[in-house]
Amino acid sequence: MGSEMCIRDRYGFMIIEDASHGIGGKYKDQPIGNCRYSDITVFSFHPVKIITTGEGGMALTNDEALAHRLALFRSHGISSSAADMQVRPNDEIWNYQQIALGFNYRMTDIQAALGLSQMQRLDEFIGNRHTLASRYDSRLTSLPLVTPWQHSDSYSSYHLYVVRLKLDQIEKTQRQVYDAIYAEGVLVNLHYIPVYRQPYYEKMGFKQGYCVQAEQYHREAISIPLFPGLTEAAQDRVVEVIREAVSL
């Protein structure tokens, strides 16, 4: 664990990294998922993510005790390891005991096989994403958009390529730009709606205006297509469609 975790140690909380998008990325040349700055890192293997197992994901930790508990929770809280089992008088030790309240979070072997084969292509996927992202960077600079800024310490997995519209330089609303792009058959999206604007959290009392910057971002953001199989010709067309959509 890095000294960067000193706030965690001082106040005694734990850090769980939601790195659902982050597999294949790096920070200061170290892979996301090494848990240098967290107790647990999670990846999602949902079909739209960097690699997939159909559904499912992975939790990573360097803490043996946590790893053991995660494995227990994965399978009904049941252990068949002699070290976990209680020896009680007049009890036979059968081949398993339930020692915690778990659930069934198991991945099937078939999913795992897909995941292993996907892992072999991880660097290729991320490399393609980087090539495409830098093509976008150079081709979109002249437009009234903010392209994703990258810190020199970070090597993004580029799960998404989100541009921010400079709405003061565009005579259209975000929705009009979105619709204009979509009408040309280019699948754009909005990532994401600030979580507290969801009805579930609003019921807890969160209101519009709570995170002004997040809301500003939400009014300007549009995700444009980025995936390893995107051809350069298709990407160039996306750029042209965007250019027209943000023009007067």
- Binding residues for ligand PLP, rule CB under 6 A, total 6
Q: Which is nearer to ligand PLP, 28 or 191 (CB)?
A: 191
Burial class of residue 142 in the structure, from the number of CB atoms within 10 Å of its CB (0-12 exposed, 13-18 middle, 19+ buried): exposed
Q: Which is nearer to ligand PLP, 47 or 185 (CB)?
A: 47
Q: Which is nearer to ligand PLP, 57 or 144 (CB)?
A: 57
Q: Which is nearer to ligand PLP, 49 or 164 (CB)?
A: 49
Query: Which window, 18-26, 32-40, 84-92, 130-138, contacts ligand PLP (CB under 6 A)?
Result: 18-26
Which one of residues 13, 28, 46, 198 is an interface residue with ligand PLP (CB under 6 A)? 46
Q: How many CB atoms lie within 10 A of CB 131?
A: 14
CB of 149 to ligand PLP, least distance (A): 19
CB of 196 to ligand PLP, least distance (A): 15
With binding defined as CB under 6 A, does residue 148 bind ligand PLP?
Answer: no
Closest CA to 16 of 56, 60, 72, 49: 60
**Which parts of 52-111 interact with ligand PLP (CB under 6 A)?**
57
Cβ contact 30:4 at 8 Å: no
Query: Which window, 13-21, 93-101, 130-138, 182-190, contacts ligand PLP (CB under 6 A)?
Result: 13-21
With binding defined as CB under 6 A, does residue 164 bind ligand PLP?
Answer: no
Residues at the site binding ligand PLP, with contacts judged by CB under 6 A: 18, 20-21, 44, 46, 57
